Amino acid sequence: MKHHVKDGALAPQGKLRIEWAERQMPVLTLIKERFTAERPLEGKNIGACLHVTTETANLMRTLKAGGANVALCASNPLSTQDDVAASLVADYGIPTFAIKGEDNDTYYSHIDSVLDTHPTVTMDDGADLISTLHSKRTDQASEVLGGTEETTTGVIRLRSMAEQGVLLFPVVAVNDANTKHLFDNRYGTGQSTIDGILRATNILLAGTRFVVSGYGWCGRGVAGKARGMGANVIVIEVDPLRALEAVMDGYEVMTAVEAAHVADVWVTVTGDLHAIGAEVFQYMKDGVILANSGHFDVEIDIPALEKTAAERKEVREFVEEFTLEDGRRIHVLAAGRLVNLSAAEGHPASVMDMSFANQALAAEHIFKQDTKMKKQVYPVPPDIDKEIARLKLASMDITIDSLSDEQRKYLSSWEMGT
Ligand code: ADE
């Protein structure tokens, strides 16, 4: 079996951690049990480009239990957990191509290794697998029934491909399922971003001025958790509706230049270029900490910072210090890559349980549809989304009420008023 991981000897530790995560993934475990009995993915090739974590390992095991031949590479050069990659190969027989800290060439050679397995379904987090297939290996597109996409940034890329008429097969936007973005993006990114910042720096958040750029679901999550730790949270947002929401949620809202004067910690979650751009470094306080939790490492303009800095050095694992000419120090965490997956372990298993339940069921859905889907971006079918919420509640031993016939009738009528 082909593979490329850092060190096979790390497998026993990886296996223990994968099993630990599985205990927090009851919905995925139920799906795995059904897949084991029904084998709905028998003989199908699935190529996955996801963060190689304990949670992803459990998704890979689920797909394999369903009969699929899966191959996995990393969706970010810094997010791989090397012990997990080793265990996937040694303990679960899953071809895995991922090494934490791999350079760009290795990253793309690993994507090529997955594409060499000729997937019929692709599974992406950020759309690098699909975009490589669409740019360098278009001859393989006709072999693909469909793909799935895990994250907001990937869905945006795929929608733009669909709009430009260049998308060569259908894709299911897992990110857009309610049981994905309302929980993973908000509670997952919220908690794991704080976790990454704290593991990298060991600072006290209470009393800091903590800036969040972007008030989408991830930004809302990060802001909420930082406030929960006692930080004074400032939100930067370009969309007036979201900015207004941040104001009414009780945050200070200001421009990036205004925030630069006061920020102690600054996190970007915008999904866009240069949320912290060249124009703001000059206003920053000595000692400020900058981190990114958006998908790509483009949100902090590190090349511009490097240009203005007199010195650049690593002062702690995952902490680089840039010293400006006047002596002020600006700290960038995890080279501006996803801080939650680089300096910590990503979202906790309990929330990835729902995200990856969506992935597993979306893959099954694509195979069931066979060639019926068009070259479009599709939502996860709402019945799958609801069922995942129902199963998650059941796993938490929570029962909810249901509507009476009278109430249901009222909701579908219009005659009754005052
Ligand atoms: N994205 C964010 N957190 C993750 C995790 N723990 N595993 C896989 N993908 C993730």
Give residue limits of the domains in the chain.
8-180+348-395, 187-342
**Structure token digits, residue 46:** 């699935």
Contacts of 255 (CB under 8 A, 6+ apart): 236
**Structure token digits, residue 197:** 């910042």
Amino acid making up residue 104: N
DSSP E strands in 17-59: the ranges are 45-49
Q: Output the CA 174–ligand 1 centroid distance in Å.
A: 14
Name the fold adopted by 187-342. Rossmann fold (3.40.50)
Strand 288-292 with 252-253, pairing = unpaired
Cα(first)–Cα(last) distance of the chain, in Å? 70
Look over the chain and give the mean of its residue pLDDT values, rounded to a whole number: 97
Burial (CB < 10 A; 0-12, 13-18, 19+), residue 131, is middle
* Rounded average pLDDT over 307-323: 98
DSSP E strands in 153-292: the ranges are 171-173, 209-213, 232-236, 252-253, 265-268, 288-292
Residue to mutate, 25, 79, 191, 342, ligand 1, most ligand atoms under 8 Å from C-beta: 79
Give the distance from CA 279 to its chain's centroid.
Answer: 29
Would you say the pTM of this structure is higher than 0.75?
A: yes
Q: Output the CA 56–ligand 1 centroid distance in Å.
A: 7
DSSP 8-state code for residue 347:
S
Distance, CA of 116 to CA of 404 (rounded, Å): 54
Determine whether the shortest distance from the Cβ of 61 to ligand 1 is under 6 A. no
Residue 324, helix vs strand vs coil: strand
Q: State the CB neighbour count (10 A cutoff) for residue 110.
A: 24
pLDDT at 14 over 90: yes
Amino acid making up residue 13: Q
Determine whether the shortest distance from the Cβ of 56 to ligand 1 is under 6 A. yes
Burial (CB < 10 A; 0-12, 13-18, 19+), residue 210, is buried
pLDDT at 418 over 90: no
Residue 199, helix vs strand vs coil: helix
Q: pLDDT tens digit string along 23-35?
A: 999 999 999 999 9
Q: Read off the pLDDT band of 416 (50, 70, 90).
A: confident
**The predicted structure's pLDDT at residue 417:** 86
* Rounded average pLDDT over 182-194: 98
Which residue owns the Cα nearest ligand 1 atom 9? 51
Residue to mutate, 17, 22, 52, 55, ligand 1, most ligand atoms under 8 Å from C-beta: 55
Q: Output the CA 27–ligand 1 centroid distance in Å.
A: 16
**Structure token digits, residue 23:** 């205990």
Which residue owns the Cα nearest ligand 1 atom 8? 51
**Structure token digits, residue 385:** 């989304």
What is the torsional sign of CA 155, 157, 158, 159?
A: positive
Q: Output the CA 211–ligand 1 centroid distance in Å.
A: 23
Residue to mutate, 81, 151, 355, ligand 1, most ligand atoms under 8 Å from C-beta: 355
Determine whether the shortest distance from the Cβ of 352 to ligand 1 is under 6 A. yes
% of the chain surpassing 90 pLDDT: 99
Residue to mutate, 338, 347, 353, ligand 1, most ligand atoms under 8 Å from C-beta: 347
pLDDT at 240 over 90: yes
Q: Output the CA 353–ligand 1 centroid distance in Å.
A: 10
Residue to mutate, 53, 148, 149, 193, ligand 1, most ligand atoms under 8 Å from C-beta: 53
Q: Output the CA 272–ligand 1 centroid distance in Å.
A: 20
Architecture per CATH, 8-180+348-395: 3-Layer(aba) Sandwich (3.40)
Amino acid making up residue 52: V
Determine whether the shortest distance from the Cβ of 150 to ligand 1 is under 6 A. no
* Rounded average pLDDT over 381-408: 97
Determine whether the shortest distance from the Cβ of 53 to ligand 1 is under 6 A. yes
Do 321 and 296 contact (CB within 8 A), yes or no? no
Q: Output the CA 309–ligand 1 centroid distance in Å.
A: 33
What is the torsional sign of CA 3, 58, 102, 315?
A: negative
Q: Rounded to whole angstroms, what are the CA distances from 262 to 162, 241, 266, 411?
A: 42, 24, 10, 50
Please give the number of the atom of ligand 1 that sits closest to the Cα of 349: 6
* Rounded average pLDDT over 366-384: 97
Examine domains 8-180+348-395 and 187-342 and report if their fold is the same.
yes
Determine whether the shortest distance from the Cβ of 55 to ligand 1 is under 6 A. yes
Determine whether the shortest distance from the Cβ of 51 to ligand 1 is under 6 A. yes
Amino acid making up residue 61: R
Q: Output the CA 200–ligand 1 centroid distance in Å.
A: 18
Please give the number of the atom of ligand 1 that sits closest to the Cα of 338: 2
Q: Read off the pLDDT band of 93 (50, 70, 90).
A: very high
Distance, CA of 332 to CA of 284 (rounded, Å): 13
Q: Read off the pLDDT band of 201 (50, 70, 90).
A: very high
Q: Output the CA 112–ligand 1 centroid distance in Å.
A: 22
